[in-house]
Amino acid sequence: MVDSSTTITLPGLEDGRRADEPCTIVIFGASGDLTARKLIPALYHLYTEGQMPESFRVIGVARREKTDESWRAEMRAGVETYSRTHQVDDAQRDAFAANFEYHPGDLTDADTYVALAKRLAGLGDPCLVNNLVFYLAISPSLFGEVVDQLHTAGLLHRMGEDDEHWQRVVVEKPFGHNLQSAHVLNNHLLRHVRERQIFRIDHYLGKETVQNIMMFRFSNAIFEQLWNREAIEHVQITVSEDIGVGGRGGYFEEAGTLRDMTQNHLLQILSLVAMEPPPSLAAEDIRNEKVKLLKSIRPMTPEAVATNVVRGQYFAGTVNGDSREGYRQEERVNPESNVETYTALKLFIDNWRWSGVPFYLRTGKNLPLRASEVRVQFRPTPNVLFAAQGHLDLHANALTLRLQPDEGIFLRFNGKVPGNSIETRPVRMHFGYDAEFGAYTPEAYERLLLEAMAGDATLFIRRDEVETAWQIVDAIREGWGGMPLSNREFYAAGTWGPVAADDLLEPDGHKWHNPKPAER
């Protein structure tokens, strides 16, 4: 929300930024869905926009036997299918695919890594040989194994300040399944690399509007002065999904929504919305403030969990005219499962800025629509000036940051309806990315891959961030104590969640604001 003639650059937000040093990206899990749907199209878009290094290679590693050419053909098909552009230039696509090689091998076999080292040495250019991004698009159970093997093969080591070349490890979520496992995994990785070499991905942090939260807050004095307990009554963060668990029933039975979404996406958005201004725009200064914010969240005692946390599970219903079966009927799900597909939390941040302000966080599957937004509800004005006009319906001002889809920012305030009577109606000021800038919104993985190659960790999660978030989530799970779901915790697919979630806000006199398909 800055004037279009003003240019301000943040780490991770540079306009026209490119990764300058030649490098090789090694993707473990090259045959997986993430590689085809997200990683390759993201790299292609960076390539066509001139943001890749002038010289680069992409080596895919997976168990299946393929040739370089057969994998290139698969990648070309992936670009055709999943590119965000309407028309793919054949010449550009073929020139892009020429940088790809395929390396078959078992990820638990040392010979795979010895052969990989030989393949890399054959690239010739010292930068392509030694500037390496290892992307672990694989099961979390293999993270430690792959890093061990890379180190043993001489491909990965702890970087010194004066090292001419670099290696970085990009890790997909989930990063552990509780605090203890995350702590063990962090220690395992740090045997062979330094913290600054580990890039833990939460793809939500790559979304344009999420990044714009910092720009919006810290470059607009009119809002930053109101961003505190004096002006704000409460904050709602909603991440809703209009799909069920699909074929991920086995994974979801182990994770649940609390681990799958709340521990990472929701708490990361919360930290950006509520953190203090960093002393500089350096990656570590920004991440320091995020950690301080997470550590300021009031501890979740069992009593607090009982009153401030709601879980839910969907049963059969209809979403956008499409019939959906219940969670317990999904493939690879226990027919008596108590795993949550919905969570809602009321959190308090015990610091000077936010003391006493409730933050409501919710996320769930098979809700009416797919949307992510932050809604800031300001305190109402004293009902003194208009007390004589008892019929006036004065609404509190609200600011909504829409993260996806229809990315934008909406400000609601009261306006007088034209005419002789004193009648008010809430009206909106609307800023939309598409309407204002007339340009595409980059996919999250484009930004994240670019920053990993450039070595900018601003948009990635640090070790203490991960472990602090797990500490919050573990306390909630401990508070649940294996109790079965109650009737008030089930919800029909296609609704906005269980009635218990409404109960969470009712004592405070608040109600959920449900996202709409497009707020114009």
| DSSP letters spanning 121-135 | HTT--HHHHH-EEEE
Residues 350 and 497 in one domain: yes
Q: What is the mean pLDDT of residues 491-504?
A: 96
Q: Is residue 8 over pLDDT 80? A: no
Question: Is 433 within 8 Å of 407 (Cβ atoms)?
Answer: yes
Residue 317 has which token pair? 């219903």
User: What CATH number does the domain containing 467 carry?
Assistant: 3.30.360.10
pLDDT band for position 4 (cuts 50, 70, 90) = very low
**pLDDT tens-digit readout, 446-459:** 989 999 999 998 88
Q: Exposed/middle/buried for 316, CB within 10 Å: 0-12, 13-18, 19+?
A: middle
Q: Are 60 and 101 in contact (CB under 8 A)?
A: yes
Q: What is the pLDDT of residues 295-320, one digit of tens each?
A: 999 999 999 999 999 999 999 999 98
Rounded distance, CA 105 to CA 181, Å? Answer: 27
Among the three residues 130, 152, 172, which one is the final residue of a domain in this structure?
A: 172
Domain, as residue range, for 330: 205-378+458-508
Same domain for 224 and 145: no
Kindly state the DSSP code that residue 441 receives in the 8-state scheme.
P
For the ranges 49-58, 215-224, 479-488, the lowest mean pLDDT is seen at 215-224
Share of the chain above pLDDT 90, in %: 63
Does 291 map to a domain? yes
Return mean pLDDT, the chain: 88
DSSP string, 154-219: TS--PPPTT-SS-EEEEEPSP--SSHHHHHHHHHHHTTTS-GGGEEE--GGGGSHHHHHHHHHHHS
420 lies in a domain?
Answer: no
Q: Strand 398-404 to strand 371-378: parallel, antiparallel, or no bridges (unpaired)?
A: antiparallel
Angle between helices 68-82 and 90-97 (to 10 degrees): 140
Out of 265, 391, 510, 513, which one is annotated catalytic? 265
Q: Is the pLDDT of residue 12 over 70?
A: no
pLDDT band at 9 (very low <50, low <70, confident <90, very high): very low
Q: Is residue 151 in some structural domain?
A: yes
Q: Which of 448, 443, 376 is nearest to 217 (CA)?
A: 376
Which of 143-152, 222-231, 247-256, 375-384 has the least mean pLDDT?
375-384
* Whether residue 216 sits in one domain with residue 165: no
Inside any domain, residue 448: no
5 is a domain residue:
no
What's the pLDDT score for residue 520?
43
Domain count, the chain: 2
What is the model's pLDDT at position 389?
A: 60
State the pLDDT at residue 19. 64
Domain annotation covers residue 406: no
Asked if residue 338 has pLDDT above 80, the reply is: yes
Q: Which of 147, 172, 197 is the last residue of a domain?
A: 172
Flag whether pLDDT at 13 surpasses 70: no
Domain boundary among 172, 189, 213: 172
Spatial strand order of the sheet with 100-104 comes to: 100-104, 56-62, 23-28, 132-136, 167-171, 198-200
Please answer whether residues 368 and 240 qualify as being in contact, where contact means their C-beta atoms are separated by less than 8 angstroms.
yes
238 and 324 within one domain: yes
Nearest Cα neighbor of 208 from 12, 484, 488, 479 is: 12
Residue 440 has pLDDT above 80, yes or no: no
CA neighbours closer than 13 Å in the CB half-sphere of residue 26: 27
On whether the CB atoms of residues 128 and 56 are closer than 8 A, the answer is yes
What is the number of other CB atoms lying within 10 angstroms of the CB of residue 181? 14
Q: Which residues contact 420 (CB under 8 A, 6 or more apart)?
A: none
* Amino acid in the structure at residue 310: V
Total residue length of the chain:
520
Per-residue model confidence (pLDDT) at position 419: 76
Decide if pLDDT at 27 tops 60.
yes
Q: Give the mean pLDDT of 481-486.
A: 91
Q: How confident is the model at residue 153 (pLDDT cuts 50, 70, 90)?
A: very high
Is 355 in the same domain as 224?
Answer: yes
Torsion of the alpha carbons at 138, 139, 142 and 143, rounded to the nearest 10? 70
219 domain-assigned: yes
Q: Which of 362, 395, 364, 363 is closest to 379 using CA atoms?
A: 395
Q: Are residues 38 and 108 in the same domain?
A: yes
End-to-end, the C-alpha distance of the chain in Å comes to 17
Q: Of the ranges 194-203, 436-445, 459-468, 503-512, which one carries the lowest mean pLDDT score?
A: 436-445
What pLDDT score was predicted for residue 363?
A: 97
Residue 17 has a pLDDT of 55
Query: Are residues 151 and 252 both part of a single domain?
Result: no
Q: 361: which residues sit within 8 A by CB, 6+ positions away?
A: 236, 237, 262, 266, 267, 270, 343, 344, 345, 347
Residue with tokens 């990044």: 211
CATH of the domain at 39: 3.40.50.720
Which of 6-20, 392-406, 470-484 has the largest mean confidence?
470-484
Whether residues 161 and 216 share a domain: the answer is no
| Residues 497, 348 share a domain | yes
Both 45 and 142 in a single domain? Answer: yes
Considering the domain architecture, whether residues 125 and 214 belong to the same structural domain is answered as no
Q: Are 108 and 145 contacting, i.e. CB atoms less than 8 angstroms apart?
A: yes
Token pair of 512, please?
Answer: 């959920």
Instruction: Give the pLDDT band of residue 267 (cuts 50, 70, 90).
Output: very high
Are 114 and 249 contained in the same domain?
no
Mean pLDDT computed over 177-198: 94
Bridge partners (DSSP) of residue 377 are: 234, 398
Sign of the Cα pseudo-torsion (316, 496, 210, 264, in order) = negative
pLDDT at 5: 41
Distance CA 373, CA 433 (A): 14
Active site residue 265: yes
Specify if 440 maps to a domain.
no
Least confident of 205-214, 383-392, 419-428, 494-503: 383-392
Tell me: the pLDDT tens digits for 358-399? 999 999 999 999 999 999 999 988 766 665 565 566 778 899
